[in-house]
Amino acid sequence: MIKMIGWIIVTVHFVVVWFAVIQSIREKKMRAAGLFSLACLPSILIGILLLSPESEIRNIILVIYIVFSALLFIIIFLPFPSKSKLNKSDEIQRVDERDAVFHRFYRLRKGTPEWDSYYNEHPELLKPDQDIRTMPQLQATGSKTYDPITSQFSHAAFDIVEPLASHLDKPDENHIDQVPISPEDATARLEGFAKHLGAVSVGTTQLNPAWIYSHNSRGPGEWGAPIELNHQWAIVIAVKMDTNMIRCAPENTVITESAAKYAQAALIARIVERTIRRWGYAARSHVDSNYRVMCVPVAVDAGLGEIGRHGLLITPQFGSMVRLAVITTDLPLVQAKSLHFGVQEFCQSCMKCARNCPSGSILKTEQQKINGVNKWQINRESCYQYWRQQGTDCSLCIRVCPYSHPDNILHRSVRGLLKRNRLLIKPTIILDDLLYNKKPDRNSRWPKWHRPSIG
């Protein structure tokens, strides 16, 4: 009986480990494949022991092996889910888009009344902002990763985003009678249509007014004008970024990929928005360069994921390898269930993004209450300053995040276990550093079509 149980455990161990080896080879993670291979040694040694003549010592070793395996199985599959989630108060303060660092550099011009007004109110930001303004724009001549050929990929994609992001507040010229449709039917049809168009995740939620920017900054219209948005519902779409492109972060493959996915998300959002309008309901897209809402907290409410230490959305399938767009509307929809799979607790211990942030912008501190929400706050000025220095949108924090591993059976299984049992968080962090390095690999291969043309 002991021998039979031993053979079952050895077989299961061997199959699981070699499955992990094969998956790692397919991901081109040879360090992980090699270490997983070494994990077969215990099962090989026990297999040899099982083939040896029966003896008292052999049986004692087998019993110890079986008991250890049983305890490990119980610990791994113990239901001990994380209870931590985004903590927010009832008095969340709306964010002024003029204070968003990425938006301050589009319309503020020295010598204008807007410039004087803003920096008189925020004198501490004048010098750091001026330092950033002395640097080249992203993927412009003079930036670190500028390439006369490959830099045009991101510029071309953003050229397409610009017209998609314009005229979002323009009402329909002709009245359209509302099509009678239930919230359930509308939600199902719009989710299916958005996924047909290329979205990988879609969520719907009642729009929390706290997530609407208070004043306009980057979008069209008067700079600093109060934002009024009376829509009650929001649809959030996520498009997936290519893992191989982000693996080269912080090189210019990442901004090529970001720009392409912002364009894809904008196109999907505009088509979904237009569909809702043709049903006779008001709708507005919120896409790159023309937001009225903050996409990440709306996405959390819509059940797409949780906010990580780096301030980005982490989804259970793709980590932060996504780009978002939002459509707000007065069409009644179905409220999605919130999604909690242990990110808050995981990020509390992991800090891999903070350890690898080249500008030190991701802090290792505890969460702080920001505008009524307990969350981690990054140093936005130093982050964007590094973007301008590098000439890309960096994305190293996305690249190194353990949740950004490819969406295959191996990593889905690990994410599922983490959601079920928070006792596995710290062992998983240690194993991730061991298998995939504490620092990002330096041998990531550029796609041939994106290889540098200079240097």
- Contact assessment for residue 282 and residue 304, using Cβ atoms and an 8 Å cutoff: no
- pLDDT of 261-290, one tens digit each? 999 999 999 999 999 999 999 999 999 999
- Contact assessment for residue 400 and residue 356, using Cβ atoms and an 8 Å cutoff: yes
Give which of 258, 268, 257, 210 is closest to 235, Cα–Cα: 268
Region 168-191 average pLDDT: 92
Rounded percentage of the chain residues whose pLDDT exceeds 70: 98
DSSP line for 148-214: TTTHHHHHHHHHHHHHHTSSTTPPPSS--PPPP--HHHHHHHHHHHHHHHT-SEEEEEEPPGGGB-S
The whole-angstrom separation of Cα 399 and Cα 401 is 6
pLDDT surpasses 80 at 87: no
**How does DSSP classify residue 223?**
T
Region 390-394 average pLDDT: 96
Provide the pLDDT for residue 45.
84
Hey, what are 119's tokens? Answer: 């920096």
Residue ranges of alpha helices (H) inside 247-290 are 253-278
- pLDDT of 335-361, one tens digit each? 999 999 999 999 999 999 999 999 999
pLDDT surpasses 70 at 84: no
The chain-wide mean pLDDT, for the chain, equals 92
Inter-axis angle of helices 41-51 and 56-76, to 10 degrees?
150
Name the one residue in this structure whose structure tokens are 């161990």: 13
Provide the pLDDT for residue 75.
85
| pTM value surpassing 0.85 | yes
pLDDT surpasses 70 at 220: yes
pLDDT surpasses 80 at 82: no
Provide the pLDDT for residue 46.
81
Handedness of CA 319, 325, 327, 328 (dihedral sign): positive
- pLDDT category of residue 78 using cuts at 50, 70 and 90: confident
Q: Produce one character per residue of 33-62: b if its CB has 16 or more CB atoms within 10 Å, e if not.
A: bebbeeebebbeebbebbeeeeeeebeeeb
- Contact assessment for residue 299 and residue 386, using Cβ atoms and an 8 Å cutoff: no
pLDDT surpasses 80 at 332: yes
pLDDT surpasses 80 at 157: yes
DSSP line for 35-81: HHHHTTHHHHHHHHHHHSPP-HHHHHHHHHHHHHHHHHHHHHT--B-
